[in-house]
A and B are shown apart, each in its own frame.
Chain A
Amino acid sequence: MTTRLVEGSAVVAEAMVRAGCRFFAGYPMTPFTEVLEHMAESLPRVDGVCINAESELEAVGMVWGAAAAGARAATGSTGQGLSLMQESIAEAAMAGIGFVVLNMARGQGDYFQATRGGGHGDYRTPVLAPSGPAEVTELVADAFELAERWRNPVVVVGDYYMAHTWVDLDVAAAVPDPPPAPDWALDGSSGGTGSAKLVSPLGTTKQRDGVGYDLAAHYDHCAQRRQAMTEGIAPRAECLHTDDADVVLVAYGTMARYAEAVVTACRTEGLRLGLVRPITLWPYPSEIVAEACAETKVVAVYENNAGQMIDDVNLALLGAAPVVGINGFRTDSSAFGIAPDVTVENLTASVQALFEQYG
């Protein structure tokens, strides 16, 4: 093993290249910027293409085209940039075009943006949330598999901390070749045969079939595919000491790592604290959360926003246990989602207060 000390965003880029991503387009915005820089450096080395798009609208458009042409393709951004991309993400789901979207948020204020999306229509996007660079490689590979399997955009959520945490990366292993293009992808060759391919968010029936676009039939087909996807993706979460916990924390991403440290410390002091860490934010691991919290006295949702994932926890528990939020942290003036109050000490204090109130 040969390791190199790199920042988290380089791990994300490396994971994408290893997962077969050969087309990337993006527009700078911190902390997505650093991923774009690494992709611009690494993709040409494997005969891939990285375009510094002139806007997020164009970045996602390019990825729409590259994915329809059979490449494993990805884009991403941060907050505002992802807001601009929503139309294409929503419509790509209707067109059956799968690609990966990195939601490199700053804090966790974009949980709703990632899990609900701001696009139009009856669509869903699977959302994967690594807790840090160590889990990125596996989940980025999973994201490309899901995008291809379900022909749907898939979101991977990161944050400022993850992008800038420096870790050892194994750089020795050879980069595998990307998988072949799927059958439906366009390469021009079916033209002139009487059955040229069509990839369209309006449907794939053609005028020669005596129909033309049949939107009712197409939307029905999309609904069936979405349903199959919903049922076909196993929700994932990691549970830590939830079997006998009096207080259970629910946290994802970077926040889960603080929570993990507090759980470990509390356990050495005999406090029965547990943690559920959702890995798929959609489909949400509702059953895992409900089961892990079945016997608990209180559930605390620890998130770096004003309280967003708490809605999903409430939906999972449906009143089975009291749910409180540990959230609403003030952030520093950098606007990068750095919350000085997100510390192991502060979380420990919050948890102790819960034990006193509910214990």
Chain B
Amino acid sequence: MNRRNNDELRVIATEHAPDDANQVADFTPGLIDVGEHHLCPGCGEPIAIRAVMDAIALLGLADTCIAVFGIGCSTAFSNNLDVEVLQALHGRAPSVATGVARVHPGLAVFTIQGDGDMANEGLQEVLHAAARGENIVCIMLNNGVFGETGGHLTVTTTIGQRTKNTLDGRTAAEHGHPMRIAELLAQIDGVGYVARGAVNDAGNVARTKRMVVEAFTAQQAGLGLSFVEILTMCPTGWFVPTDEAPDYLASTLAGTHGVGVLRSALEPA
């Protein structure tokens, strides 16, 4: 290890930032245009989007990828990325991405949708795209609610979870059972990679980023549709204090929607 001598160490003046110091703006992750966003404090979606953009930067795909966004809170990022973006309607991103990918088969075409967008409004789209073996990456940000409309029940809402239209908590008898989307996709012929990550702590963020890297690696190898579900905090929609949201995710969402790699056609590293 190169360790400098004490006398080589520079004394940093604290009254002003030195000219060569990193400014806050410099910490804006690569491929994200502006660090500020309008999502709620404690929201998990910006962390998930950053994991995706970091993976794209890591694989050097910035100028060979096209993102297709759904409609939900994460739509706030469709105009804030330094990769090409096509905005789709609520529920329609997988078919839109199919059209893009068939015109540009060499590109890394990927979708970003919420659970309401992908699994409520447009579930058949991702299932059909998977079965067709479309060579795209589909990312689902799963917070178990329609965050954008104010915290309403989705098909992934867990039993007992309070939402705006299940104020006493979801019950199977009244509101039906939660669907496990990653498990659903994992059993479809035509998928190359399926995993579920989470962004409630640093370890899970790192693991999730690795999953996204693997998903794009499978896509680049032409292995068919890759799917990564990412559990994200929605303190606003869950009606829990911001700092309690990560634990709430671990104790509710992750109990039903278990984190891990469910299927991979990649050669073991």
- Are B34 and A208 interface neighbours, CB within 8 A? yes
Query: Given the complex of chains A and B, what is the CA–CA distance between A196 and B125 in angstroms?
Result: 27
A207 within 8 A of B: yes
- Are A196 and B128 interface neighbours, CB within 8 A? no
> Which residues of B lie under 8 Å from residue A88 when comparing CB positions?
89, 92
Residue picked from A53, A67, A187, A190, most chain B C-beta under 10 Å: A187
A259 within 8 A of B: no
Query: Given the complex of chains A and B, what is the CA–CA distance between A66 and B98 in angstroms?
Result: 8
Chain A contact residue count (CB 8 A cutoff): 51
Query: Which residue of B is nearest A50, CB measured?
Result: B102
Which segment, of A68-76, A266-274, A287-295, faces chain B?
A: A68-76
- Are A65 and B95 interface neighbours, CB within 8 A? yes
Given A68-B100, A88-B92: A207 and B87 within 8 A (CB)?
no
A232 within 8 A of B: no
- Are B104 and A69 interface neighbours, CB within 8 A? yes
- Are A197 and B84 interface neighbours, CB within 8 A? yes
Which segment, of B63-71, B207-215, B249-257, faces chain A?
A: B63-71
> Which residues of A lie under 8 Å from residue B100 when comparing CB positions?
65-66, 68-69, 186
Given A55-B124, A61-B99: A192 and B104 within 8 A (CB)?
no
> Which residues of A lie under 8 Å from residue B95 when comparing CB positions?
53, 57-59, 61-62, 64-65
State the Cβ distance, B67 to closest chain A Cβ, in Å: 9
- Are A49 and B102 interface neighbours, CB within 8 A? yes
- Are B62 and A191 interface neighbours, CB within 8 A? yes
B103 within 8 A of A: yes
> Which residues of B lie under 8 Å from residue A91 when comparing CB positions?
89
A351 within 8 A of B: no
Given A57-B95, A66-B103, A199-B86: A192 and B31 within 8 A (CB)?
yes
- Are A196 and B82 interface neighbours, CB within 8 A? yes
A244 within 8 A of B: no
A201 within 8 A of B: yes
B242 within 8 A of A: no
B218 within 8 A of A: no
Query: Given the complex of chains A and B, what is the CA–CA distance between A62 and B128 in angstroms?
Result: 12
Query: Which residue of B is nearest A69, CB measured?
Result: B103
- Are A193 and B82 interface neighbours, CB within 8 A? yes
State the Cβ distance, B47 to closest chain A Cβ, in Å: 17
- Are B33 and A192 interface neighbours, CB within 8 A? no
Query: Given the complex of chains A and B, what is the CA–CA distance between A200 and B62 in angstroms?
Result: 19
B55 within 8 A of A: no
- Are A189 and B80 interface neighbours, CB within 8 A? no
B85 within 8 A of A: yes
- Are B89 and A62 interface neighbours, CB within 8 A? no
> Which residues of B lie under 8 Å from residue A188 when comparing CB positions?
63-66, 83-84, 104, 107-108
For residues 8 through 40 of chain B, which have their beta carbon under 8 Å from a beta carbon of chain A? 31, 33-34, 36-38
A41 within 8 A of B: no
For residues 179 through 232 of chain A, which have their beta carbon under 8 Å from a beta carbon of chain B? 186-203, 205-208, 212-213
B156 within 8 A of A: no
- Are A200 and B87 interface neighbours, CB within 8 A? yes
State the Cβ distance, B188 to closest chain A Cβ, in Å: 13
Query: Given the complex of chains A and B, what is the CA–CA distance between A69 and B88 in angstroms?
Result: 13
Query: Given the complex of chains A and B, what is the CA–CA distance between A68 and B101 in angstroms?
Result: 11
A36 within 8 A of B: no
- Are A193 and B86 interface neighbours, CB within 8 A? no
> Which residues of A lie under 8 Å from residue B99 when comparing CB positions?
23, 25, 61-69, 73
Query: Given the complex of chains A and B, what is the CA–CA distance between A184 and B96 in angstroms?
Result: 17
- Are A186 and B86 interface neighbours, CB within 8 A? yes
> Which residues of B lie under 8 Å from residue A73 when comparing CB positions?
99
Query: Given the complex of chains A and B, what is the CA–CA distance between A115 and B33 in angstroms?
Result: 41
20 A-B pairs, CB-CB below 8 angstroms? Answer: A23-B102, A55-B124, A57-B125, A58-B124, A58-B125, A64-B99, A65-B68, A65-B101, A65-B103, A66-B103, A69-B104, A71-B103, A188-B84, A190-B63, A192-B82, A196-B82, A198-B85, A202-B87, A206-B79, A208-B80
Q: List the 5 closest pairs (A to B, CB-CB), nearest first.
A: A65-B99, A61-B95, A200-B87, A192-B62, A66-B99
- List 9 additional A-B contacts (Cβ < 8 Å) besides A190-B84, A191-B82: A57-B95, A61-B94, A71-B103, A186-B100, A187-B84, A189-B63, A192-B62, A196-B82, A199-B86
